[in-house]
């Protein structure tokens, strides 16, 4: 096993599954902390603020801080600011929960505009309504750019898989004929910004996660080695059918030696 100088680590399905703790994932993070190996939690979950993620991790036995949390909301804000370097105010329409809403509206560069937004930004919303979807579709047809925070089709819960943001975005895509620009895993923006944040080169870093379609493809598509842990979405039988394989596959993160 190669020694890596930093780890990008998924949360849902790797460290916890809904309200259930994945003990091997917690022990893995504690081993990183003991050895002072840099890490960044790279989650596609946009329902929580970084502060809320820190609190949730504490409930699962991990002490960390917001400097170790990176979400598609943070990456999307950076991406949109890069696209609008000379624009002081950016009108957006938001579908999502507290993490997305607070993340954008607490930043003075962005303001909510349901009538004429420049961007429609869609994140996971368990209170999604037809009215929200209709407003988003209308804006996109009128020229707004469609941004999807992440493409996860399903989310691992305690004993089931729930519809994910990718499923929500697909509905809007079908209704408008417009594909979203995705920011979160496996898309490149979140990986590029995460590497800048930890100041590491691609060959120094490994991506850890449970979902082949998001976590592992994020690594593969962006030149990172990958560790698939079989504690969440993807199972071994499914993964073995894929043409491209993870760099490493482990039953759980107890099997990974630092």
Residue 76 domain-assigned (yes or no): no
Shared domain for 136 and 203, answered yes or no, is no
Residue 166 CB neighbours (<10 A): 24
Residue 244 is encoded by which pair of tokens?
Answer: 């491209």
Q: Let me know whether 91 and 178 are in one domain.
A: yes
Domain boundary among 157, 182, 207: 182
**Which tens digit of pLDDT belongs to each residue from 111-166?**
999 999 999 999 999 999 999 999 999 999 999 999 999 998 887 676 788 899 99
pLDDT (average), residues 165-188: 97
Average pLDDT, the chain: 95
Query: Domain span at residue 206?
Result: 6-71+185-255
Would residue 1 count as lying in a domain? Answer: no
Mean pLDDT score, 54-80: 97
Element of type H or E holding 68: none
User: Domains in the chain: how many in total?
Assistant: 2
Last residue of a domain, one of 182, 206, 240: 182
How many other CB atoms are found less than 10 A from the CB of residue 120?
Answer: 26
Phi, psi of 183 (to 5 degrees): -105, -40
Kindly state whether residue 152 falls inside one of the protein's structural domains: yes
> To the nearest 10°, the Cα dihedral for 84, 85, 89, 95?
40
In a domain, 210, yes or no: yes
pLDDT tens digits along 7-46: 999 998 999 988 899 999 999 999 999 999 999 999 999 9
Residues 92 and 166 in one domain: yes
How many C-beta atoms surround the C-beta of residue 109 within 10 A?
A: 14
Distance of alpha carbon 24 from alpha carbon 26, whole angstroms = 5
- Indicate whether 201 and 175 sit together in one domain: no
Q: Give the CATH number for residue 193.
A: 3.40.50.1000
pTM of the complete model = 0.93
């Amino acid at each position: 096993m190669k020694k890596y100088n930093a780890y990008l680590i998924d949360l849902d399905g790797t460290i916890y599954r809904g309200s259930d703790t994945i003990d091997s994932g917690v022990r893995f993070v504690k081993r990183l902390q003991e050895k002072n190996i840099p890490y960044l939690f790279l989650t596609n979950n946009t329902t929580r603020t970084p502060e809320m993620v820190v609190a949730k991790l504490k409930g699962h036995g991990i002490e960390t801080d917001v400097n170790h949390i990176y979400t598609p909301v943070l990456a999307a804000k950076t991406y949109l600011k890069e696209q609008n370097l000379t624009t002081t105010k950016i009108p957006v329409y938001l579908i999502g929960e507290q993490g997305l809403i607070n993340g954008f509206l607490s930043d003075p560069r962005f303001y909510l505009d349901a009538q004429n937004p420049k961007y429609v930004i869609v994140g996971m919303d368990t209170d999604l309504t037809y009215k929200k979807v209709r407003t988003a579709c209308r804006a996109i047809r009128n020229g707004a750019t469609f941004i999807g925070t992440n493409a996860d089709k399903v989310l691992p819960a305690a004993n089931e898989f729930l519809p994910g943001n990718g499923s929500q975005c697909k509905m809007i895509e079908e209704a408008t004929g417009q594909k979203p620009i995705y920011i979160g895993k496996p898309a490149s923006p979140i990986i590029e910004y995460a590497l800048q944040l930890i100041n590491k080169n691609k060959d120094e870093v490994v991506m850890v996660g449970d979902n082949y379609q998001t976590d592992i493809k994020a690594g593969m598509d962006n030149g990172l080695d990958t560790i698939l842990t079989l504690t969440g979405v993807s199972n071994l039988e499914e993964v073995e059918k894929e043409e491209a394989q993870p760099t490493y596959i482990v039953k759980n993160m107890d099997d990974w030696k630092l």
